[in-house]
Amino acid sequence: MEALTTNGITIGVESFFQKKHSNPRESRFIHSYQVTISNEKESTVQLIARHWYIVNAAGAVREVSGEGVIGKQPTLSPGDSHRYVSWAPINTNIGKMYGYYTFKDTQSNEMFLVNIPEFKLFSPGILN
């Protein structure tokens, strides 16, 4: 698992190759990833938006942005965590993802960014 703390919020990410949904002959490699968001601040925060960079082995970058995560904008009190699972397709057998979340401190209404650690996307056997 990759983990990174920014502005009092820790993001942990673990990725999984989805063989059942992938088709290497068609250059379709599907990966799921589990994200754990932990609030280590002394104030309550709300996740407002996400911005992802998805990079394939050729260096092509696809950006994905939107409100919240999987249709939610979770609010986390001090010490709380939120976990979700999502997925991403790439067209090469190896790649990576990274990005950032936009959070709001619910007490001060201050908006701040939290980095998502870079993590690898690879099909089994590629890193032997």
pTM (predicted TM-score)? 0.93
- At 36-79, the pLDDT tens digits run 999 999 999 999 999 999 999 999 999 999 999 999 999 999 99
Mark 53-87 as b/e (b = at least 16 C-beta within 10 Å).
Answer: ebbbbeeeeeeeeeebbeeeebebeeeeeeebeee
Q: What's the mean pLDDT when you consider all of the chain?
A: 95
CATH 3.30.2130.10 given to domain 2-122: no
The residue to which tokens 């063989």 are assigned: 19
126 burial (CB, 10 Å; 0-12 / 13-18 / 19+) is middle
Q: What percent of the chain has pLDDT over 90?
A: 94
